[in-house]
Amino acid sequence: MKKDLPLVRHARPRSQRGTSLIVSLLLLLVVTVLSVAMFSKVVGEERMAGNVREHQRALAAAQTALQYAENWLSGVYTGNLATCDAGTVAVTSPGLVQVCDKPVYGSASTASAQRAIVTEPSNWATRFTYQPSGMAVGTSDSTTQRHAQLPGFYISALGLGPDGRTPLYQVSSYGIGGNGSTISVVQSTYALTAQVTPLDNP
């Protein structure tokens, strides 16, 4: 007697209907968005690091000019005030520096007008520019650390201090970074004290 064998039906593969393509495109989109976000973050951090470097270079130049002016006051200055002519004076020798009889902001009366002049050295009527040894000035490039312009300073007399004997001076100085758009301005009040040696104890 012959038995009927059960019929075995083989399931035919169903078409995927583009599901794997859609999933792949979604994954590609996610990876692309993450890559763009990471790239933007890296570019932003590099720009921030560049800005910090430019600020530090400008501040270092301003501090150098300030120290030069203070050293000039304590070592070369003879006590004479001058009506400083408008313009820029390149300090090639200490004899060219002067102490001006007017503040750096000139005749500006309001605090906001004074601040606007002090923080923008191009508005200073008189500037003494100083080139520290080893400082390169000119167009910045990838091989040298150049500054766009020389640092400068201005010295003005403030009168006598609270003791009625010690003359006070205001020293304003500025430094400019490599691209010319980064400017640092620093100021100090400098007391010029006399060195007195007692005659009974030389």
**pLDDT per residue as tens digits for the range 18-66:** 788 888 888 999 999 988 888 888 877 777 777 788 888 899 999 999 9
Cross-strand bridge partners of residue 176? 183
- Its pTM stands at 0.71
Q: From CA 69, how far away is CA 126, in angstroms rounded?
A: 14
pLDDT of residue 5 exceeding 70, the answer is no
pLDDT for the residue 47: 78
Given pLDDT bands bounded at 50, 70 and 90, which one contains residue 1?
low
Calculate mean pLDDT across residues 134-160. Answer: 80
Of the chain, the percentage scoring pLDDT greater than 90 comes to 28
Average predicted confidence (pLDDT) for the chain:
83
Domain boundaries, the chain: 32-191
pLDDT at 20: 82
Task: Provide the strand spans (E) within the chain.
Answer: 81-82, 87-90, 99-100, 126-129, 136-137, 146-147, 152-160, 167-176, 183-191
Is residue 173 packed enough to be buried (19+ CB in 10 Å), middle (13-18) or exposed (0-12)? Answer: buried
